[in-house]
Amino acid sequence: MRGAGRRILLVLLDGAADRPASELGGETPLEAAETPALDRLVTDGVSGLVDVGPPGTPMPSDRAHARLFGYDPESVPRRGVLEARGLGVEVPETGVTCSASFARLEPAAEPPGTVTDRSLSGSREQCRDAAEAIGAFETAGVSVSFEYTWKNRGLLTLESAAPLDPGVTDTDPFESGLPVVRPEATANADDSDAAARTADALAAYTRWSVERLRDTASDVVLSKWAGMPTHPEPFAGRHGMEAVSLTPKPVLAGLTDTLGMDVIDPPDGYDRRATAVREALDTAEFVYAHYPEPDEVAHAGTPREKKRELEAIDRSLSGVVEAVLERDFVAIVTADHTTPSVGNVVHSGEAVPITMTASTARTDAVTSTGERNAATGGLGRIDGTDVLRIARSLGDRVLLDGLRRTPGGGTVPTTDVRPLFEEDPP
């Protein structure tokens, strides 16, 4: 048995943090949005800023989430493996798995093979049809297989009797106007020879995909985020809580599954998702509720559209907020990174706002949601890996520092200890 502390809810508004927008009078979408449900948590809680990664570093969602869950991102598999697990694709223990995508090239450009279209938004059905043509390839004892997943995307898996290593550069430049990148072993690869073998196989496959995709809607298969399975400490062991994850995103379903959470694919619609969150709180000690939509709207829309999306999410959360306050739960509301809805960057490195609400919290004077409001709050500026420990402290789920109830130590107030006397003491 573990200590009977308060249950904890993490509401993760993916990419909700933003930059000031002139069309919103110099406010960010989060500052401009009408969010009475979230404001209630802010008023009853304590706010601050989180550097999810090293200050100023733009974080991808998988690595940002790993830190928010209290893990070093290097201890969990890279995104290719996580996407595969989230999509139910088997990942070989000794193979390398990459995220892959179809793209268009401009062969006449300088340098040759310049990427012109990485999304192929008008040709996604043709991508599904083309997958069979590039599904299996052999080179120098390495088998490479492609499995189509969705949109213009898929997964590349490399297997070999000889060692492979995921420490390789991406062939996907992650930006149009740049050439397909030559795969090479990275400077910090664990096994440089195995990484070189992996890179050579990816280079051969990428060239082959160009030949196979001639006269189709795409020109090449690009790869990125190569990874191999790792075995991080389960979330329940690290934090002393049985956890439920509600996320519609495969990469984060894969991450939370890797950490041993019970993964639920939430229903469509914000109101139905909120109902699923309340139901999960009836049984789970920790509930992670993921809302990817602010990030998606920021990438494709405008600050005003992002503001409206945040307001729609807030309207659905009134019942969740009521349950948190009535049942004496701990609530965390934050983002995993800043996603500017203006400009031409994917993510940016500014700190994100955070609110923690609990009956035990030393509340501050902040009463409304937003980046600059949170910056004045009582939490100050904290590191992403500290978020859950602080929330667990508010939930009375942290052991006194220095105690050693188990050989592994740790901060979980477990009562599941090994007794000295198996019978009555002498």
Output the 3-class SS for 245-273.
EECCCHHHHHHHHHCCCEEECCCCCHHHH
The set of residues, in sequence order, having a beta carbon less than 8 Å from that of 5 and lying 6+ positions away, is 285, 392, 395, 396, 397, 413
Residue 3 is predicted with a pLDDT of 43
Residue 426 is predicted with a pLDDT of 66
Q: Which of the 8 DSSP states describes residue 280?
A: H
Q: Which of the 8 DSSP states describes residue 70?
A: T
pLDDT in single tens digits along all 426 residues of the chain: 344 689 999 999 999 999 999 999 999 999 999 999 999 999 999 999 999 999 999 999 999 999 999 999 999 999 999 999 999 999 999 999 999 999 999 877 666 789 999 988 767 778 888 899 999 999 999 999 999 999 899 999 999 999 999 999 999 999 999 999 999 999 999 999 999 999 999 999 999 999 999 988 899 999 999 999 999 999 999 999 999 999 999 999 999 999 999 999 999 999 999 999 999 999 999 999 999 999 999 999 899 999 999 999 999 999 999 999 999 999 999 999 999 999 889 999 999 999 999 999 999 999 999 999 999 999 999 999 999 999 999 999 999 988 888 888 788 888 888 898 877 766
Choose the CATH number for 8-73+233-394 among 3.40.50.10420, 3.30.930.10, 3.40.720.10, 3.40.50.970: 3.40.720.10
Residue 422 is predicted with a pLDDT of 79
Residue 121 is predicted with a pLDDT of 77
Q: Which of the 8 DSSP states describes residue 22?
A: G
Residues 379 and 397: their CA atoms lie apart, in Å, by: 19
How far lies 229's CA from each of 171, 236, 243, 255, 260, in Å? 21, 19, 21, 11, 14
Residue 109 is predicted with a pLDDT of 67
The model's pTM: 0.94
Residue 409 is predicted with a pLDDT of 78
Residues 256 and 208: their CA atoms lie apart, in Å, by: 35
The set of residues, in sequence order, having a beta carbon less than 8 Å from that of 419 and lying 6+ positions away, is none
Q: Which own/partner pairs from 407-410 qualify as long-range (CB within 8 Å, at least 24 positions apart)?
A: 410/238
Q: Do 182 and 203 form a contact (C-beta atoms < 8 A)?
A: yes
Write down the domain spans for the chain: 8-73+233-394, 82-227
CA 231 from centre of chain: 17
Closest among 308, 284, 312, 122 to 217, alpha carbons compared: 122
